Amino acid sequence: MQGKSVLLIIGGGIAAFKALLLARLLGQAGVKVTSILTRGGSEFITPLSVAGLTKQKCYTDLFDLTDEAEMGHIELSRAADLVVCAPATADLLGKVANGLADDLASTVLLATDKKVLFAPAMNVRMWTHPSVQRNVRQLKEDGALFVGPTEGEMACGEFGPGRLSDPENIVRAINDALSRDTTLPVAAASSLAPSGAMAGKHVLVTAGPTKEPLDPVRYIANRSSGKQGYAIAEACAGMGARVTLVSGPTHLPSPVGVDTIRVETARQMMTACEEALPADAAIMCAAVSDYRPDIETEHKIKKERGGLTAIGLAENPDILRTVAQLELGRPKLVVGFAAETDDVVSHAEVKRRRKGCDWIVANDVSPGTEAMGGDNNSVILLSDDGEEVWDHMPKAAVARRLAERVAEVIG
């Protein structure tokens, strides 16, 4: 992120104060932050406080001719590497989704040639209102990135989704967006629509291991490389889907055309998946740690201070099960993976039923198969229609075949 620049658009709402913390965190990470404060935003915080924190001018609707001569709104919209809108209000989302530009923020959001990351924050009923959800879907289809909102108690006393994602989480999403090409392609209107068997569909994929910290230097993890999940994300994107890949720590680069959200722990993976929904299909490939240490200390555990003789464990959320059993907004198709070392089919079928997913892709990861971390895989697809044994093949081929099958259901 060091040396990158972000245009931060701060909308109106009680969460506007958190944008100040976000600006500070970005500054600490070496990011240059230029800002725009909307008229609503300036009811909550002042341009002076934003400018003081960012050490850059904070533009407002009082943008006058002098400013226009110094830096026109078109230039302002293009000078940054990424545009971040936090908090993004229902009003701002609605304007951009519908092509309206009646103030500086919305004008810049339409004029930009860079990706826009929205961090929405609003009352829970506003967030769940069909018209706001319609606007969000439209913006996602148009290529906008989203982080949050999260669930919790709101300033207005209600409970539910609508809280601004934590500034640290927004920084993570910014880091991820900046690690990819943030320039919006210039395309003729007709070529803007993706083509392929999954065009217009959203696919959520999880991949990789999770790391469950014990102290700042130690963690519990597993040997998953993330290769199969990344290949699936890439195959779905290749078929025209909008893909969100929620990945545990891996050494793999983000696949082209895929929104990759990097997380560490199972709980972060759960939150990122919830934030990524709705989706037409969810393909849960990650090797999520079922348990985490029930302690996490801020300081390294020292042998001299008694050390550690046992690790107590707490259960992690089961992401696949949660998504498969959603009453509202369940993806049309939920696919799980089952890495087994013995009785592969029967164990996997029990898992399919227990978790409530539609399909399970079962594979043998017993020593000698090299499925874990290797480039090839032998899988058996289990569904209501029974079992289907696939030949031993590269993970990329498994991914393409699975994506084709998924497209038949959601396409």
Residues catalogued as catalytic? 156
**Amino acid occupying residue 183:** T
Closer to ligand C5P by CB, 123 or 206: give it: 206
Closer to ligand C5P by CB, 92 or 338: give it: 338
Beta strands 82-88; 281-284: pairing state: unpaired
Measured from the CB of residue 220, what is the shortest distance to ligand C5P in angstroms?
13
Contacts of 234 (CB under 8 A, 6+ apart): 255, 256, 258, 396, 399
Among candidates 124, 168, 126, which has minimal Cα distance to 147? 168
Measured from the CB of residue 249, what is the shortest distance to ligand C5P in angstroms?
15
Task: Write out the two tokens for 102.
Answer: 């009646």
Closer to ligand C5P by CB, 206 or 247: give it: 206
Let me know the angle formed at the C-alpha of 343 by 341 and 344, rounded to the nearest 5 degrees. Answer: 65
Please answer whether residues 38 and 61 qualify as being in contact, where contact means their C-beta atoms are separated by less than 8 angstroms. yes
CA 51 to chain CA centroid, Å, is: 29
Contacts of 204 (CB under 8 A, 6+ apart): 243, 244, 246, 273, 276, 277, 279, 281, 282, 283, 323, 331
Measured from the CB of residue 121, what is the shortest distance to ligand C5P in angstroms?
28
Please answer whether residues 11 and 44 qualify as being in contact, where contact means their C-beta atoms are separated by less than 8 angstroms. no
Using CB atoms within 10 A of its CB, is residue 356 exposed (0-12), middle (13-18) or buried (19+)?
A: middle
Closer to ligand C5P by CB, 240 or 336: give it: 336
Q: Which parts of this chain interact with ligand C5P (CB under 6 A)? A: 206, 266, 284-286, 288, 290, 316, 318-320, 336-338, 351
Measured from the CB of residue 322, what is the shortest distance to ligand C5P in angstroms?
8
Measured from the CB of residue 158, what is the shortest distance to ligand C5P in angstroms?
29
Closer to ligand C5P by CB, 280 or 358: give it: 358
Among candidates 240, 172, 238, 233, which has minimal Cα distance to 208? 233
| DSSP 8-state code for residue 305 | G
Among candidates 196, 229, 245, 239, which has minimal Cα distance to 361? 229
Measured from the CB of residue 354, what is the shortest distance to ligand C5P in angstroms?
8
Closer to ligand C5P by CB, 120 or 248: give it: 248
